[in-house]
Chain A
Amino acid sequence: MFADLNSILNTSPDDVRQREFILLSDRKADASFLIHHFLSFYLKAGCKVCFVGLVQSFSHYSAVAQRLGVNLVQARQKGQLVFVEALKASAAVMFSESTDDAAQMFDYLRSPVPELRALFESVCASLIQAEADSSAPPVLIVDDVSVLLSLGVSVRAVLDFTHYCQANICSRLQGCVVTLVRCDDDDEDEDEDDDESSNRLLRALSHQCTLSLRVEGLQTGYCRDIHGQVEIWWRGTGEDVQSQRRLFQYKVYDKSVSFFAPGTSSAVL
């Protein structure tokens, strides 16, 4: 959890906003530090978290969370964290190795028209149980949905999944959803008509989300002191309407991230 980001977003673990749909995206940069931020943030806030890890294994997230001061193993044993080992399970399904519960969740990968119904149902089931015995909102974190595209799921199916998640978790259970989308590096104009691109997924999700954090590499290339820029965009929901954008540059440290206005890096000034 990064205190800097909390103050920018004007939240704290004691004051978790409900019904947030947070979209993280990156292009020519790595936004996974934001995933780790939100994971530790919601765990500290005492929310029940369902984490779908398609990119890394549990031990990786656990090691990073340890540095940020959150013990994932403990949280998992307490039942606060439901970790879906999607990385291992999807590989196992592909090679028809296992038939356990986790594998069934990813059964769609073998069907001719992959859809994410089973995944949605299991995610929902794990969060609905939580709702009964806690006051904090349930949270779903997906890292990251563009991996599903690579596994052969269509953009439409992914959008169905996120739409259902938003309807159920944000709207019905008053919870939050955090997803990460990684974009292709090529220009957006080129794949204007490409139906299956992550750019299209990103555009569609931008319409759905209430808060968007867009991480991009610097246009001028790699820099030792500035790792990239992040555009934070509050898109109004129905109630609070005015949308607002702010741009920051950031640098990731070992245990924290510093955000500063463009051009005001400590290395420059």
Chain B
Amino acid sequence: MTSQAPNSQERVYSVYVGPFDPCPPVPCKTYVVPPHLFLGFQPPNLPQFNLTEALRIGTLWPALYSTYTPHIRGGN
């Protein structure tokens, strides 16, 4: 198991590549670990986005903000 920088919202793991795999192997796969998994009970007085920004992205708190970039196995 390999992992990226601890603050990254993505984790990488390597996958066994068999000698007779029918399709081109994808040696590394990723999954998302959004920030709420590490927050615990939300502490008071966290920094906030401004209201326009918060309404656009769906959360008031940067601590809960998770970006998602389209990611397709085998390339976009």
**Do chains A and B interact in one complex?**
no
